[in-house]
Amino acid sequence: MDENMTLRALAALSQKTRLDVFRLLVKAGPEGMLSGDIGDALGVRQNTMSTNLSVLVNAGLITNERQGRTVRYFADFDAMRGLLSFLMADCCNGRPEICDRVFEEIDCS
């Protein structure tokens, strides 16, 4: 991920609903979620949700797939890894032990 893509991703995530959507889709994993279910889970009206989903798609953080009359959304885990890699590329100036605490904070259980 380059600097411009990183800026777009961070701008997209700088709004509460979009951050909540992204985190919900990360939690949903590879199965993703239907757009209506995302709105229901977060208590957001469909037209507002549609706008927020479009911003996240355009930022490259999520993808979508039409399934008949509905649309399923997925977190783009490659994009997330790219964003995190860009942010931490120069972490600790060659002393990775300093960054160990960051990785300890990530709990995938």
pLDDT of res. 98: 77
Q: What is the pTM assigned to this prediction? A: 0.87
pLDDT of res. 108: 67
Please give the structure tokens belonging to residue 17.
């609903």
Tokens 């700088």 found at: 14
pLDDT of res. 28: 97
Q: For 61-104, write each residue's pLDDT tens digit.
A: 999 999 999 999 999 999 999 998 888 877 777 777 777 777 77
Range of the domain at 19: 3-105
Q: How many distinct helices (H) and strands (E) make up the chain? A: 6, 3
Output 37 or 98, whichever has higher pLDDT.
Answer: 37
Which residues, in sequence order, are bridge partners of residue 72?
A: 34, 65
- Mean pLDDT confidence for 22-48: 96
- Mean pLDDT confidence for 25-39: 96
Please give the structure tokens belonging to residue 52.
């927020």
pLDDT of res. 105: 73
Tokens 């279910």 found at: 37
Please report how many Cα atoms fall inside a 13 Å half-sphere around the Cα of residue 71, on the Cβ side: 13
- The contacts of residue 60 (CB under 8 Å, 6+ apart) are 5, 8, 9, 76, 79
Output 104 or 9, whichever has higher pLDDT.
Answer: 9
CATH number for the domain spanning 64: value is 1.10.10.10
Q: How many domains does the chain have?
A: 1
pLDDT of res. 58: 97
Tokens 């009359």 found at: 69
